[in-house]
Amino acid sequence: MRNLIIEEPEAIEANDVTHSLSQAWRCIRLPLIVPLLRLAIIICAIMSVMLFIERVYMATVIFCVKVYKLSIGAACGLSWLADRFIIQILDDSTNEPLREMVELECHKWMEKGVNVKYETRGNRNGYKAGALREGLQKEYVKDCEFVVIFDADFQPDQDFLWRTIPYLLKNPELGLVQARWKFVNADECLMTRLQEMSLDYHFSVEQEVGSSTCSFFGFNGRQTGHFYFIQDPNNQIIDAGRWKDRTTVEDMDLAVRASLKGWKFIFVGDLAVSILIPSINTSDSSVYRD
């Protein structure tokens, strides 16, 4: 007995298509796909080497140029009355050699007559929010009327105070003056260029619009921030509940609480402060950001 198999035309056509695709794949796999994969592997290897070289380069720059010297020097060089001016260096780093270098730099400015306070902690509880909270609890801070905060990679111009404090003096409801950022190393690599584009949009659109319409906008205090608060018994920080480390975005946390308390913010778009954009990963950038 013979078995009779009858295939439908559709099935025969499907088998032919499958066979044709299989044949086409075999034809292009070796001459086209394999070389492309090899090229991709080579490109990835080159990019890995480039990233390694960049990290070594940045580490060398940090060690030799010492970014913290530029930042401390810029802060100590701000134009203001010498007897009404305190520079507080909050060093939350666990790197002892770096701590020693930062402290030595602070002592150099102390010898020049600048009122510099070098503050460290035995722990890193709360990270940046914890450091800011403890820094503002120092006894000498109670006599301060205004507070300005810079991250370790900021270099403000000498006239920064003269261009911002008048806003606070004229409006008792104003609790914050936010300046724009000027990126000194935006063209260093693709990563820094992308960050510049993103942050430019953040300032030019989000904060500019929020400020011009008297609407809420979050101030920048997490990564690289500079802002002012009126410092009196009813100041914004105390009134809003101080810096809290219950979230990883303590700047937005404080901004929301301060806004709910009725404090107003203003963004000054024509005032720019130089900033160094991180071009390596966060763990490496902590070397000069702590």
Catalytic positions, please?
Answer: 92, 251
Please say whether the beta carbons of 165 and 84 come within 8 A.
no
- Please give the backbone phi and psi of residue 200, each rounded to the nearest 5 degrees, phi first: -60, -40
- 3 state SS of 264: strand
Helix (H, G, I), strand (E, B) or coil at 43: helix
> Under a CB-based contact definition with an 8 Å cutoff, are residues 118 and 91 in contact?
yes
Torsion on CA atoms 186, 102, 114, 146, rounded to nearest 10 = 60
Burial 50-82 (b: 16+ CB within 10 A, else e): eeeeeeeebeeebeeebbbebbbebbbebeeee
Collect all residues with Cβ–Cβ distance below 8 Å to 48 and sequence separation of at least 6. Answer: none
Q: How far is CA 188 from CA 50, 55, 201, 281, in A?
A: 13, 13, 19, 15
